[in-house]
Structure 1
Amino acid sequence: MSLQTEVLDPRRDPEPPWWQPLRDSAGLRATWAWETLAAAGPRLGIAAVHDGADLVAMATARWRLGVVHVIAPGSTGQPGWWVADSARQTELFGALGRGLLARFRYATLGTLWRELDGEQADAFTGIRLTRAVHPLAVMPIEWPNEAGWLRTLTANRRKSLRKGARALARDTGLVAASGPANELDADQLIGLIRRTEAKYNGPGRTPRMSDAWLRTLLADPEVRAVYYRDTERNLVAAFTILDHPSWPLAHYWGALPATEGGRKHLYFDGFRRTVGWAIAAEKHGLVWGKGLDDVKARLGCRLLPRYAVAVPPR
């Protein structure tokens, strides 16, 4: 049976009946909720490939400066597509690419596929340009408790984390907690995220999204946070986490500078607390995204090679 491609615009089209079942079966995180995609702004498109009654592939992309960028909205830590059968990647990537080009109908120079592993990059045929990009940091959970993780680190790193934890525990003006992100003040949390975006505007960073998109995402009950407040309940720092049954994704980090009521070393303590949360929740691992490769490797992450492939219109 021939493949059929459905092309959608989340800003204009209603959520298709197969979308939530796809999210459930494929483990697509909160950034893939239809209302969050609809808030991602113009020039976003979705292509879905059907083989008879079966949905076999899906991709989302944004048109920018003549190029169709296949990327997950607001996250470099996950791919912008899903395929049901890796043995059909060449066929399905081709069908998705044609569908996305049809969605935009603009003059396009080509399609840029991001966050591919080596096997996926090799699935593209014909004229193409392949480049290595920033690796993806992941941390399989292989220990029964936080102490087990700490024992895998160097003595100096272990000592530093424990010293920082003791110092913060003595700080009577700071309260550490975790829970649903939608229970936090969205304005404060977005403000923290914006500070970090301005400070770390380098390779591998999460794409800057609108305040409206962030509000929609942070209202989703599938988004969690590991955070710090002062005694007046003002947010001082936070990690946001896109929850997942097996592999949650540490999404955003935001913090006040020490000169404005923040604390030193909160990133490392927040990292430690996030690992502890994942262990307690019996997750298989954590996706730590891209950027700060050396820091994440020293904290026990594995760095997985990732590639981008540019292909001309076909």
Structure 2
Amino acid sequence: MLDPRTDPEPAYWDDLRTQAGLRADWAWPVLAVQAWGARTPQLVTVLFDGAEPVAAVNAGWLGLPAGRFSFARAGSRPRLGALHVRGPGSAAVPGWWSAEHVPLAEFADAYTRAARAALGPGALGVVWRQVRPDQVDQIKHRVGKALTTEPLWTIHTGRWTDREQWLMALSRSRRSNLRGIVKRMTADDNLEVRVQTGAVIDDRPVAEVMRWNDAKYGGALIPRVRVLGGYLRELSAQPDVRSYSYLDRSTGRLLAFGHVLDHPQRPVVRSWSQLPRDRGGIRDLYFHHLASVVGWSIDEGRLGLELGKGKSREKESLGAEPTEQVALAVPTRWW
């Protein structure tokens, strides 16, 4: 069980990421800077079969005492709580991987036992996010509580060989709408769309734009942690990350920004935020962005493009299909 803030990157980590197909948010420098900006310790656990890594889990160690307004100190851990298994920096993707030959039930049981052994009797349970319905019985091992959550949406771009085929698969109204949006954006000489891979970005304007998206998901009891500049810089710099910037040419002002985490088969649209229209934003940038990313995914021969949760109506209109997801709370076993 490793803490990316203080533990060095394991020598096997790059090979494990390649084998598991883990995206750029699992790069060790990204994990480290993300963990430094979290309210709770973020722990990475690697399970071995002999000398071979066969599973990896990312989890936040949530519990008491809790810090509502402070970051977790290095070495600090709650005395009582549960592990929250989720994707690094995002609950919209699973936070674990196991090799194909490892039975899921054995993997989940080994992880919960290892967590209790490492964290002590105060580790009362594990909350697994983004579990498929067919995985529930294997993970909960006859005990636990399952709750259906928002589905994840995927556009299966491998069905089409070009963008026109994708557009023709949509409804007439959405197809016409997208064509109009692309035409209008292309004709706007004051709008620059900049796409970069492994980019060195100025994180300040990006963070300013991102806060408008963060504000939509903030809570009153525990305020949302804003996206930190160091995290944006490190993630954007990864060679398998595409950064999308929409800029006002006349002022140089950033109007919208998004990340796509590339993958040989299924890239992820990781983040998107734009200025509100009353702050100088432009309507329909979201649809222009998704149309651009879908076209890129088709051109590159990717099997699918994962769009995450939320905005179900909009994503379905673009040809995305839902995958049901379950959150699963499982008590740790002391026996």
TM-score, normalised to structure 2, is: 0.85
Deviations 1:76-122 (A, max 9, x none): 33211111026611011111122233343472331101111122212
- Residues 165-176 of structure 1 mapped to structure 2, 5 A cutoff: 165-176=182-193
SS for the counterpart of 2:19 is helix
Deviations 1:191-229 (A, max 9, x none): 222211213559xxx985544333322222221123311
Partner Cα separation in structure 2 for residue 83 and residue 15 of structure 1: 19
Partner Cα separation in structure 2 for residue 170 and residue 103 of structure 1: 59
Percent identical: 36
The answer (yes or no) to whether the contact 1:76–1:207 under 8 Å persists in 2 is no
Name which of 99, 110, 122 aligns with 2:114.
99
SS for the counterpart of 2:103 is helix
SS for the counterpart of 1:195 is helix
Q: 1:272 to 1:208 in 2, by over 3 A?
A: same
The answer (yes or no) to whether the contact 2:202–2:233 under 8 Å persists in 1 is no
The answer (yes or no) to whether the contact 2:213–2:273 under 8 Å persists in 1 is yes
In the alignment, what sits opposite 2:205?
188
Name which of 216, 229, 247 aligns with 1:229.
247
Partner Cα separation in structure 2 for residue 222 and residue 187 of structure 1: 22
Partner Cα separation in structure 2 for residue 126 and residue 209 of structure 1: 38
In the alignment, what sits opposite 2:196?
179
Partner Cα separation in structure 1 for residue 156 and residue 226 of structure 2: 28
Q: 1:257 to 1:209 in 2, by over 3 A?
A: closer
**Structure 1 residue 36, shift from structure 2 partner:** 1.3
Give the partner amino acid of 1:173.
Answer: N
In the alignment, what sits opposite 1:3?
none
Q: Does 1:215 align with 2:253?
A: no
SS for the counterpart of 2:199 is helix
In the alignment, what sits opposite 1:32?
26
The answer (yes or no) to whether the contact 1:48–1:59 under 8 Å persists in 2 is yes
Partner Cα separation in structure 2 for residue 163 and residue 200 of structure 1: 31
The answer (yes or no) to whether the contact 1:46–1:100 under 8 Å persists in 2 is no
Partner Cα separation in structure 2 for residue 112 and residue 209 of structure 1: 23
In the alignment, what sits opposite 1:17?
11
Q: 1:308 to 1:288 in 2, by over 3 A?
A: same
The answer (yes or no) to whether the contact 2:150–2:309 under 8 Å persists in 1 is yes
SS for the counterpart of 2:123 is coil
Q: 1:153 to 1:121 in 2, by over 3 A?
A: same
- Return 5+ residue gaps in structure 1 as ranges: 1-6
Partner Cα separation in structure 1 for residue 23 and residue 246 of structure 2: 24
In the alignment, what sits opposite 1:4?
none
Q: Does 1:242 align with 2:261?
A: yes
**Structure 1 residue 72, shift from structure 2 partner:** 1.3
Name which of 293, 296, 310 aligns with 1:291.
310
In the alignment, what sits opposite 1:137?
153
- Return 5+ residue gaps in structure 2 as ranges: 64-80
Q: Does 1:164 align with 2:181?
A: yes
TM-score, normalised to structure 1, is: 0.90
Greater shift, 83-92 or 30-39, is seen at 83-92
Partner Cα separation in structure 1 for residue 264 and residue 225 of structure 2: 25
Partner Cα separation in structure 2 for residue 233 and residue 307 of structure 1: 43
Greater shift, 282-291 or 81-90, is seen at 81-90
Greater shift, 303-312 or 104-113, is seen at 104-113
Runs (4+) of structure 1 exceeding 6 A deviation are none
SS for the counterpart of 1:161 is helix
Partner Cα separation in structure 2 for residue 146 and residue 38 of structure 1: 38
Partner Cα separation in structure 1 for residue 146 and residue 3 of structure 2: 28
Partner Cα separation in structure 2 for residue 201 and residue 170 of structure 1: 36
Deviations 1:146-165 (A, max 9, x none): 11111111111111111112
Alignment length (residue pairs): 305
Give the partner amino acid of 1:196.
Answer: N
Partner Cα separation in structure 2 for residue 173 and residue 160 of structure 1: 21
Greater shift, 241-250 or 217-226, is seen at 217-226
Question: How large is the Cα RMSD of the aligned pairs?
Answer: 2.0
In the alignment, what sits opposite 2:52?
54
SS for the counterpart of 1:178 is strand
